Amino acid sequence: AWPRGIPANSFAFHAADEHSRTGLVLREVAFSSARQRDVRTAPHVTSAAVPGLYATIMLPAPSPVLVFAVLVTLVDRGSGSAKWGYSGEFGPYNWRNVDTSPNVNQCGDKLQSPVDLDDRYAEYDSALADINFNGYDQELYNPYIVNNGHTVQIAATEDSNRFIEGARLPGRFQFAQFHFHWGANSTRGSEHTVRGFQYPLELHLVHFNAKYGSAAESMKYEDGLAVVAVYFEVSPTANEDLSVVVDALKEVRLSDEKGFNLPSPVVLNRFLPRITRSYYRYQGSLTTPPCSQAVTFLVMTNTVPISEEQLQQFRLLRSGKDENSSRLVDNFRPTFPLNGRRVFKSFPSSAPGLGPEGFPSVLVCLLALGGGRMLLLRK
């Protein structure tokens, strides 16, 4: 999934089908105050920046009644088009060969994400203050959800009132969008691992450096983007705070550039753990092509609960436009070596939620004496 930049008097949204990264179809989506939506082509587009990956459409400043967003759909142009996915010949180990022009493909470079996190080797940094989540207690304006063939992404038509500061970030980072990574079952799913352990789902809240004006421009600089990563852990009961997203997944079961306007309010802090002062910080990259090495990752150590039934709704999604397309699961990139990078932590001792050996406290490994198998049980 892609970060979304919103410069003054313009709006941009980025989506992709599972087949292609080339060829742009620009569409204008009008949201009325009644949250009704009309989708039509936009022949009056005056600017399309960064074709093939990002587009920024210059539009008049929105009125209180009508707000515009742009859906940029990357359409299959045949066998010559660039493709990427999470398995087979188009999987992560071949992303370095994907044509991401005009953006530089950095998928084969040395400062890539995700990474494995280990509190034993992370450096405690007493200067890492609490992250200031400004505006995270406010409702997003006209939030919408899209299945872009690689993930489900939630964004809004106006996000300037939501930003993060602190955590030694160089300035203010404006919220752009959030999306998820998950597995085919609950033994895997997260992109970042904890001593090799994967959580069933990981949330990425994407922000761009306000001084660069947009996510597309911010991708060019090592201090351009900040991503807050949140682990989700299986709970016996459903997390009602997730209902606004989980209930909408049935509306975007298939990959579709039109998206779905969420009928219920989306408040970002409901997707954060209760305690956010404990986190890892390191320099990395986007975890999808072009893998731009422009990201400061802030990975929360405390988790958010989610039930198996809620996770199953993610696993029912499809990566294509019909039911015969492959299931949208295991959309996580493998971890990469640090290659000399330093991982910092905001806490002096073992991370909260970790047992005495540094593994998630909810995970108990038992050897079944009768069958000689390892069972993973959750308390």
Report the catalytic residues.
150
Q: Check if the beta carbon of residue 81 is closer than 8 Å to that of residue 20.
A: yes
**Residues 229, 240: Cα–Cα separation, whole Å:** 20
Closest CA to 45 of 62, 28, 29: 28
Per the structure block, which two tokens stand in for 284?
A: 């990395």
Phi, psi of 41 (to 5 degrees): -70, 155
CB atoms within 10 A of CB 118: 16
**CB-facing half-sphere around the CA of 310: CA atoms within 13 A:** 22
d(CA 318, CA 329): 8
Q: How many residues does the chain have?
A: 379
Token digits of residue 93: 């180990």
b/e code 182-197 from CB counts within 10 Å (16+ = b): bbeebebbbbbbbeeb
Token pair of 356 as six digits: 């005495």
| DSSP string across 54-70 | ---EE-PPPPSS-EEEE
Other C-beta atoms closer than 10 Å to the C-beta of 272 total 19
Closest CA to 335 of 107, 122, 110, 116: 116
What is the Cα–Cα distance from 73 to 82, expressed in whole angstroms?
14
Specify whether the CB–CB gap between 225 and 369 falls below 8 A.
Answer: no
